[in-house]
Amino acid sequence: MRYSELEVKRLLKMSEELSLEDQVKVNILNFIRTIHLNQQDFIASSFDSQFFGELPMTFRKKEGQVMGVVIATVKGQKQMYLFTEDGYERLEDVLG
């Protein structure tokens, strides 16, 4: 999914009605939004952030890499996503 400020705001307004899959989407897009708001150089930055709670997520990227990985645990199942400053995709969709 491509990053869009309007999509993030729309999803945040619906936050109480979101499925777990949509919550994953919101968290990833909001993480990318934070990168944009902080005007970070995505490639020069490194990330190692963890979200805890009902929907645990880990965001990792090393300095110099053009993409990072997100690991989300949804209903006990680990789901992996690749993310850039422009959006994200499920790892299995990229490999499939």
Q: What is the pLDDT of residues 61-87, one digit of tens each?
A: 999 999 999 999 988 899 999 999 999
pLDDT at 45: 95
As a whole-number percent, the residues of the chain with pLDDT over 70 amount to: 99
As a whole-number percent, the residues of the chain with pLDDT over 90 amount to: 60
pLDDT at 15: 65
The chain-wide mean pLDDT, for the chain, equals: 89
Q: Which helix (H) or strand (E) holds 74?
A: strand 68-74
Q: How far apart are CA 35 and CA 85, in angstroms?
A: 7
Q: How far apart are CA 16 and CA 80, in angstroms?
A: 24
Cβ neighbours of residue 54 closer than 8 Å, sequence gap 6 or more? none
Q: How far apart are CA 31 and CA 36, in angstroms?
A: 9
Q: What is the DSSP letter of 2?
A: B
Model confidence at 17: pLDDT above 90: no
Residue 33's nearest CA partner among 52, 72, 59 is: 59
pLDDT at 4: 80
Q: What is the pLDDT of residues 24-35, one digit of tens each?
A: 988 999 899 999
Which amino acid is located at 56 in the chain? P
